[in-house]
Amino acid sequence: MKTLKRLSATMLLLIVFVFCSGTYSQEIKISDNTRTCLDCHTSLHPGIVGEWEKSAHGRMAPSAAIKKQGMERLVSAEKIPEALLDNVVGCAECHMINPEEHKDSFDHADFSVHPVVTPKDCSVCHSTEAMQYEKNIMYHAYGNLMNNPVYSDLVTSINGIQTFENMSLTIAPPDDRTNADSCLSCHGTMLKVSGTETRETDLGEMDFPVIEGWPNQGVGRINPDGSKGSCASCHGRHAFSMETARKPDACSRCHKGPDVPAYPVYKVSKHGNIYSSEEKSWDFGAVPWTIGKDFSAPTCATCHASLLTDTEGNVVAERSHQMNDRLYKRIFGLTYAHPHPVSPDTTLIRNKAGLPLPTELTGEPVEGFLIDQAEQDKRKGAMQKICLSCHSTGWVEGHFDRLENTITTTNRMTLTATEVLMEAWAKGAANGLDKKESIFNEGIEKKWIEQWLFYANSTRFASAMSGADYGAFDNGRYYLSKNIQDMIEWLKLRVKDKEKK
């Protein structure tokens, strides 16, 4: 008995050794350049080195990755430069690639190193994903906000320092650091190398570039190599993990709400409930991702991005970094929900009033700039195909019929709020478009913003993802209806005042 016990312990140790070491059959080759980086940075930055060591990048060379066939292949480039093939993807492979294009490149221990790694750098191996992402509206998130005079005025009304004198309010233009800390935290900052700084380090004096707008990992960041975006927005750094991007938490930083409450709505939806309850037993690393085998309820990535198959290996959805190719309508209202724009650069749009908005102020979608019915049907079909993996046609049609109704009714409630606002402008109780003044900085205008940006959006997200409470009391229909009441009461108080004078 005792012998058997000793034997079993020995064997367990062996088993553990064999299976955990994981290195006995596959050699990890690290480039000399990366080794030089690691010599110092392993102790300087243990957190990111640790992440990288456990990552796919840190454990597999592109030469092996590119040999994978069919759907299992994660490297989409046809060819990878010879020099990158045989070593794992380490510090040097990403931070020293394309040095000439990088305005943030600097001389560091005799290497030309750039701190900011960009989608263009990643596209050396992941070209298809980079190309798809250029069609993603997030790719243009910086310009779509900052180069659109209407939205840019909204930014000023929120981020500008306000001062009070003689009973009146002055709003200064917002400073760059405030914008970087709020809107551009998600939209992305503009990174500009503004000079060089000498720092005392453990290895003596060293020069480093000074980069305005850094740090930032916004989805539409303007990069020093001319590219846009940051893969780290969703994939994190330095694990660059598909698993992380497949989990809903990855989306939470920018989709918390109340403007785009996708994450909280998902969390309380039945899909989110099942995720929270079961995700520990799901396989977030499987490629392709098989419905019913690897997971049993969708996360954000499932419906919006991932390559999905059924248990027989049939493709249910192709991998997409464009994402809106599965979205037929943009339920994020500006100011009304509308068919998705044709171009992800939404500054190109002009409505009848000449404003760069996808709808008229009275709700009609702007012609010519939004996708047509055929494209809408195609995208809706792509999304519904995923739904149909678990739900019957009747279920799916019922769900989308309700969503369509919700889009209509929330747009209608936004129109009513807009009519109250226009009455306020007409009666001189507030100053708006007709006086060429900001439409975002008076009491009733703030309420109007909330009508579409918070309440109508929340109600639509709740409808799209079945997150009931967000369509009822939590920024939903309760507030959508109450807010109109509030706007009218606001107006009545002022109109009476005016009439008395």
- Segment 289-308, which members bind a second copy (CB under 8 A)? 290-293, 296-297
Q: Which of 381, 383, 380, 386 is nearest to 292 (CA)?
A: 386
Choose the stretch contacting a second copy; rule: CB under 8 A; options: 85-93, 134-142, 253-261, 431-439: 253-261
Q: Shortest gap between Cβ of 330 and a second copy (angstroms)?
A: 18
- Letters for 33-62 (x = contact with a second copy by CB under 8 A, - = none) are ---------xxxxxxxxxx-xx--------
- Does the protein bind a second copy through residue 188 (CB under 8 A)? no
Q: Shortest gap between Cβ of 281 and a second copy (angstroms)?
A: 9
- Does the protein bind a second copy through residue 413 (CB under 8 A)? yes
Q: Shortest gap between Cβ of 450 and a second copy (angstroms)?
A: 9
- Cα distances (Å, whole numbers) of residue 324 to 43, 254, 301, 390, 412: 42, 17, 12, 22, 24
Strand (E) or helix (H) holding 164: strand 162-165
Q: Which of residues 63-102 bind a second copy (CB under 8 A)?
A: none
Structure tokens at 242: 């598909």
Q: Which of 401, 393, 414 is nearest to 332 (CA)?
A: 414
What is the number of H-type helices and E-type strands within the chain? 24, 11
**Residue found under tokens 């088993």:** 15
Structure tokens at 470: 């967000």
Q: Shortest gap between Cβ of 24 and a second copy (angstroms)?
A: 9
| Measured CA angle at 370 (ends 364, 374), to 5 deg | 110
Report the residue from 182, 351, 376, 431 that binds a second copy according to the rule CB under 8 A: 182
Q: How far apart are CA 318 and CA 132, in angstroms?
A: 12
# binding residues, a second copy (CB under 8 A)? 146
- Does the protein bind a second copy through residue 474 (CB under 8 A)? yes
Structure tokens at 380: 């809706």
Report the residue from 36, 71, 101, 236 that binds a second copy according to the rule CB under 8 A: 236
Residue 30's CB is within 10 A of a number of other CB atoms, namely 18
Report the residue from 26, 277, 343, 362 that binds a second copy according to the rule CB under 8 A: 277
- Does the protein bind a second copy through residue 19 (CB under 8 A)? yes
- Does the protein bind a second copy through residue 14 (CB under 8 A)? yes
To the nearest 10 degrees (0 to 180), the angle between helices 477-500 and 443-450 is 160
Q: Shortest gap between Cβ of 384 and a second copy (angstroms)?
A: 13
Choose the stretch contacting a second copy; rule: CB under 8 A; options: 84-92, 131-139, 239-247, 359-367: 239-247
Q: Please, are residues 371 and 322 in contact by the beta-carbon 8 Å criterion?
A: no
Amino acid, res. 268: V
Closest CB to a second copy among residues 134, 469? 469
Structure tokens at 459: 């109600």
Q: Which residue(s) pair with 195 in the sheet?
A: 210
Q: Which of residues 194-223 bind a second copy (CB under 8 A)?
A: 197, 199, 208-211, 214-215, 217
Amino acid, res. 41: H
Q: Shortest gap between Cβ of 64 and a second copy (angstroms)?
A: 22
- Does the protein bind a second copy through residue 423 (CB under 8 A)? yes
Closest CB to a second copy among residues 378, 391? 391
- Does the protein bind a second copy through residue 362 (CB under 8 A)? no
Q: Please, are residues 278 and 259 in contact by the beta-carbon 8 Å criterion?
A: no
Choose the stretch contacting a second copy; rule: CB under 8 A; options: 64-72, 140-148, 345-353, 393-401: 393-401
